[in-house]
Amino acid sequence: MNVIEAARELGKALQADPRYSQYNAAKLANDNDAELQKKIAEFHEKRAALNVEMGKTDKDTAAITAINNELNKIYMEVTENPNMMAFEAAKAQMDEILESINYIVTCSANGEDPMTCPEKAPFTGCGGSCDSCSGCH
């Protein structure tokens, strides 16, 4: 078996994992939740409106505050939607397994034994930037 065939086998194994099924079911539930999709579209519209208002040379602080308040309200409605909450939980589980796969492959590419390298990178503390962070531990 070559490395590409092994990757395809890994892909099949990933799709057989219950976390994959849960993720897909949660994504489908999100996609089919008309009210949630409406709120997400409304959120994007308000965010665009806020960006337009913020980009003006003569900023209307009252308008910015009002749009920002509406944006925050919609955001809370989206994040508190049961389908979105289930999706976020399922996505976190998928992200975790994908991070483990990536770490094992990376360790293997660096010469470590793939059968004994850890599933997760050791926590080295916060570097202060969240840009490339996988989350606080």
pLDDT for 130: 66
| Euclidean distance between CA atoms 60 and 50, whole angstroms | 11
Q: What is the pLDDT of residue 30?
A: 95
pLDDT reported for residue 16: 97
Would you write out the chain's pLDDT as a tens digit for each of its 137 residues? 899 999 999 999 999 999 999 999 999 999 999 999 999 999 999 999 999 999 989 989 999 999 999 999 999 999 999 999 999 999 999 999 999 999 999 999 999 988 988 888 887 666 666 666 655 54
Residue 11 lies in a domain: yes
Predicted local confidence at residue 72, as pLDDT: 96
**The dihedral sign for the CA sequence 101, 107, 113, 118:** negative
pLDDT at 79: 96
Would you say the pTM of this structure is higher than 0.85? no
HEC letters along 8-53: HHHHHHHHHCHHHHHHHHHHHHHHHCHHHHHHHHHHHHHHHHHHHH
The verdict on residue 46 lying in a domain is yes
Q: What is the CATH number of the domain that holds 97?
A: 1.20.1500.10
Which of 60, 69, 66, 64 minimizes the C-alpha distance to 50?
Answer: 64
Q: Is residue 30, in this structure, part of any structural domain at all?
A: yes
Cα maximum dimension of the chain? 64
- What's residue 118's pLDDT? 85
Residue 120 lies in a domain: no
Domain ranges, residue 43: 3-109
Could you tell me if residue 116 is inside a domain? no
Number of domains comprising the chain:
1
> How far are the Cα atoms of 6, 85, 95, 136 from residue 13, in angstroms, in the given order?
10, 26, 15, 28
